Amino acid sequence: MDAATPTLVIEVRGSAGGDARIVVDGRPLSGAFEGASVAVDPGPHHFVVQVTGRANLERDIVVFEGEKLRKLIFEIPATVPPPTGLVRNAPQKPPPEAEHIGPPAPAAAARARPALPVPFWIATSTAIAGLAAGGILTYVSAVQRGYLADQCDSIAGCGDGEKSALRTRLLVGEVTLGVGIVAGVVATIIYLVDLRSAPAR
């Protein structure tokens, strides 16, 4: 029977090997660290090495009848000491924007051209309306003046009412035209100032 009974020599390596506990098939195995051989039954066996504070080391082997002094080695990994200080997470930098070659995308173009201020549009609308109305009044007054000159041979020969109405229309036309010109100049100045103060693209 002794010749048929297999034996094992178990070795646990590592700094915590002295604290190890060996369990074979659910039963603790004693005397396995004294360098002596341990007799086991032939067949499959499940070995577990337990160390306090470490993960268990497990292994399944098959022992054959008559096998003698089979060496079974378990390596206990060394533990990594915890950090002595707190490590703060480094601030993550945003990923660099991809370089774009060619005309800007529609969304980028919209961001690159900010909306013009409200006073610009007010001045522009006033300039358009003033120039249009003043030009029409001035033209109509000039036509009527020529008509009166033809009818009366001279503007001085017409009635006071006709001359007063003509002067009024001429004055209104000139004032309206002047307002349109001034508004156009203001709109141009606002546009140039806004263009200069816009951030560089």
pLDDT at 201 (0 to 100): 44
pTM of the model: 0.39
Least confident piece of the model among 87-96, 104-113, 155-164, 187-196: 104-113
Mean pLDDT of all residues in 83-99: 62
The domain ranges of the chain are 7-75, 114-197
Q: What is the mean pLDDT of the chain?
A: 77
> Which tokens is 74 given?
């378990």
The sheet with strand 38-39 has its strands ordered as 38-39, 7-13, 70-75
Least confident piece of the model among 17-31, 38-52, 79-93, 166-180: 79-93
Residue 153 clears pLDDT 60, i.e. is over it: no
pLDDT, tens digit (0-9, with 9 covering 90-100), for 26-74: 998 876 666 678 888 999 999 999 888 888 889 999 999 999 999 988 8
Q: Where are the alpha helices (DSSP H) in the chain?
A: 106-112, 118-152, 160-197
Q: Which helix (H) or strand (E) holds 71?
A: strand 70-75
CATH topology for the 7-75 domain: Immunoglobulin-like (2.60.40)
d(CA 160, CA 162): 6
| Residue labelled with tokens 């709109």 | 187
